[in-house]
Copies of this chain bind each other. A is one copy, B any other.
Amino acid sequence: MLSFNSVIVRYGEISLKGKNRIAFELKLKSNIEKKLEIQREDFSRVILKRGRIYIKGIKDVPELKNILGIYSYSPALEIKKDIEELEKEIVNFFSVLKGKKSFRVRCQRIDKKFPLTSIDIERKFGEILFEGTKIPVKLNDPDLNFQIEIGEDNIYIFFEKIKCFAGLPYETAGKLVSLFSAGIDSPVATFLMMKRGVEPVLVHFKITDKDYKKVLLLKEKLEVFTCGKKMKLYVINRDELFNEKFSSLYKNEKFYPYMCVLCKYLMHKKAGEIAKQVNAEGIITGDNLAQVASQTLRNLFVYTTVSGFPVYSPLISFDKEETIKIAKEIGTYEISTMKSEGCIPPKHPKTGVSLEVFNRILEETELK
């Protein structure tokens, strides 16, 4: 069996330029190295070259899917940059085609000065493979996609591009505090911001042990994407958040429908305090417009402005199905949907809290 000796890593983000680009590339390279070390992979080195990162001298094909910032990668055979070498190597690939119904050869030249054009190479090696195997060429949707990349220093042969999450490398954007519950939304929101380079500091408001245990599992799931770094988790107990007056609201008919908004208000206030402590530059929430009764524009207005920090809600425009799809992709869905024991929201929460009324309530309850 023919084995690969390298990996080609592709990253996207077409809009990055100049100084920023190089910083992002170096961070991605170092994140890849960390991940390989954690996985105890055998490799000789990772090099950065014109829009590609190459992992050289591998023994086994590493798992890179969870490294944020990678667009796709390909386990590959690296050979000398020499067309005769390629001709010699290609006969070893006859066995790979065995049993396939069809194939095609695709060539991409990173080195535009290479003497043969992409089409020349595709034709030449298509013929060699056909002559050697008699397996027919099929340009559309072939059984095997035989790919040749003419790099700056080497030639690479590979068969697949494994798609990853794209985005930007972890820890390139700064720190945000994330309001982190045991539900479906906040882990997905946190992940989406991580995917843009954010390092999240999790804040969980603990109501029950059951939910707290779920939070620990969710945190672990997200740490798959941090290339070995542990995430910080602040756990705030009920009594730290609510005073006695707040708890007495449960029995107060007038205030009871405002419970959700009041609770979120207090959470944001606390999150703002933590953001200051840890030098974070904003707050992440799983809020989604009009998804549940407490997340109306009016309510969001009341509680998202209290901290003075910008609030980032990447799910704000999502349909629930879109959120669930991502939760399944990143493996948090199973945990989030485990049996829960959180708070019991009022049956008919206020959907349109006005700032004036809300401020009056804050004064009456001494929660401001």
Contact = CB atoms under 8 A, between A and B. Distances in A.
B290 A168 contact: yes
Interface string A1-35: 00000000000111100011000000000000000
A290 B320 contact: no
A101 to B, nearest CB: 19
A282 B310 contact: no
Nearest to A308: B305
Contacts of A20: 290, 293, 351
Taken together, the copies of this chain in the complex come to 2
A173 B290 contact: yes
A15 B320 contact: yes
A173 B311 CA distance: 19
Contact of A297 (B198, B297, B301, B348): B198
A167 to B, nearest CB: 6
A321 interface: yes
A165 to B, nearest CB: 9
A309 interface: yes
Interface stretch (A122-130, A189-197, A215-223, A258-266): A189-197
A74 interface: no
Given A13-B319, A305-B310, A314-B316, 12 more contacts: A19-B348, A20-B290, A167-B317, A173-B289, A173-B297, A193-B317, A196-B288, A198-B289, A281-B297, A281-B301, A297-B310, A314-B314
Contacts of A301: 281-282, 309-310
Contacts of A193: 289, 316-317
A282 B207 CA distance: 31
Contact of A319 (B12, B292, B298): B12
Interface residues of A, number: 49
27 contacts: A12-B319, A13-B291, A13-B319, A14-B321, A173-B297, A174-B297, A174-B298, A175-B297, A193-B289, A193-B317, A195-B317, A196-B289, A196-B316, A196-B317, A198-B297, A282-B300, A289-B312, A297-B310, A300-B310, A301-B310, A304-B310, A305-B310, A310-B311, A311-B311, A312-B316, A313-B316, A314-B317
A298 B176 CA distance: 11
A166 interface: yes
A147 interface: no
A317 B13 contact: no
Contact of A166 (B15, B298, B319): B319
Nearest to A197: B290
A227 B309 CA distance: 36
Interface in A150-176: 166-168, 172-176
A173 to B, nearest CB: 5
A291 B24 CA distance: 12
Contacts of A19: 348
Contacts of A292: 15
A296 interface: yes
A13 B324 CA distance: 12
A348 B289 CA distance: 36
A351 to B, nearest CB: 7
Contacts of A198: 289, 297
Contacts of A282: 297, 300-301
